Amino acid sequence: MSVGFLSSIGMFQGFGLSQLRVHQDSIGQSLERLSTGKRINRASDDPSAMIAANGMKAQRYALEKRLDSFERETSWLGAREGALSVMSDFMVELSGLVVQAGSSDAMSEEEREGIRVQIEGIITGINHVAGTTTFGGEQVLVGFSASELGVQSAKPTSDEEGNPVAGERVSLADLPRLISEDSGLAQDVVESAGTRVSGQRGVIGNRLKSIDAEKSALAAEFENINGAISMIEDADFAKETAELVRSQILEQATISAIQIGRENAARILDLITPMPQSKAI
């Protein structure tokens, strides 16, 4: 009888210690989740959810890189548009000066020279903006120097023998002399240059609008993925707090039950253990 009883006590103690470990593991898990804020801290916590979360993180990384590229492109286009805005102002000034130079036959040579000096100053400014406006060490107005803007062909002429000769190619760089030689061609050159500058600003404006739309869509997708990752990985603080309290109560109850079981077992063993026989005197 005593052997069976002792076996039962051993089984009870073993079950109690096993349950105690379960409750202590649960306490440790809840404390870890509350401290890290994550429901999944290792693959064993939820393998399938971890795989899904990692896939979403790869998507999120790709979106981050795409958004970063948009930010850089926006900055590059902003630098380009700013420089073209200055160019546009130059075109307005040149247009006014060319019209002024060609509209007055009574203009003195000194006045024409003054206009010529102003035009040369503006051309210098155009070349300076085209050559020095950079972003990240890269020139943003390649192809916009004075010699590359407003390129036109002068009217064909004839040589001394009457053979046709193609008209020379002129550009903004030739404007100082064109205002005296061919005011009409000078106006065409300025108009062509202005059209090119305005056209490029329009292209940039359309691209910036397109980028804004794409960024808004990507930002919404980024937030949705972040929310999905959070739902998978993040701990529910209310749930984990309740689970922690529950496990702590069960831990204390199990410890108490084990202690009570040991005390009761000790008392019962005392009762069933035969008293030693006294020797007769």
Contact 87, 150 (CB under 8 A): no
User: Over the chain, what is the mean pLDDT?
Assistant: 81
- Taking residues 88-104, report their average pLDDT: 88
Which residues, 6+ apart, have CB-to-CB distance to 69 below 8 Å? none
The alpha carbons of the chain give a radius of gyration, in whole angstroms, of 44
Q: Is the pLDDT of residue 270 over 90?
A: no
pLDDT digits (tens, 9 = 90+) for 134-186: 988 888 999 999 999 988 877 655 545 555 445 578 899 999 988 888 888 88
Which residues, 6+ apart, have CB-to-CB distance to 66 below 8 Å? 218
Q: Is the pLDDT of residue 122 over 90?
A: yes
pLDDT at 53: 83
| Pick from 8-12, 47-51, 148-152, 156-160: least confident | 156-160
Residue 61 in tokens: 């990384």
Give the orientation angle of helix 183-233 with respect to helix 47-102, to 10 degrees: 170
CA–CA separation, 108 and 151 (whole Å): 29
In our burial notation (b when 16+ CB lie closer than 10 A, e otherwise), range 104-128 reads eeeeeeeeeeebbebbeebbebbbe
Q: Is the pLDDT of residue 221 over 70?
A: yes
Q: Is the pLDDT of residue 190 over 90?
A: yes
CATH architecture for residues 45-231: Up-down Bundle (1.20)
- Taking residues 255-272, report their average pLDDT: 69
- Taking residues 247-276, report their average pLDDT: 70
Containing H/E element for 169?
strand 169-170
pLDDT at 267: 67
Alpha helices (H) in the chain, listed in sequence order: 2-36, 47-102, 109-132, 175-181, 183-233, 237-272
Degrees, nearest 5: CA angle 49-50-52: 65
Q: What percent of the chain has pLDDT over 90?
A: 38
| Pick from 7-21, 190-204, 208-222: least confident | 7-21
CA–CA separation, 182 and 175 (whole Å): 9
Sign of CA pseudo-dihedral 104, 107, 113, 114? negative
pLDDT at 8: 60
CA–CA separation, 29 and 24 (whole Å): 9
pLDDT at 180: 84
Confidence at 276, pLDDT banded by 50, 70, 90: low
CA 18 vs CA 9, 111, 255, 261: distances in Å: 14, 106, 11, 15
Which residues, 6+ apart, have CB-to-CB distance to 234 below 8 Å? 37, 38, 39
Q: Is the pLDDT of residue 281 over 50?
A: no
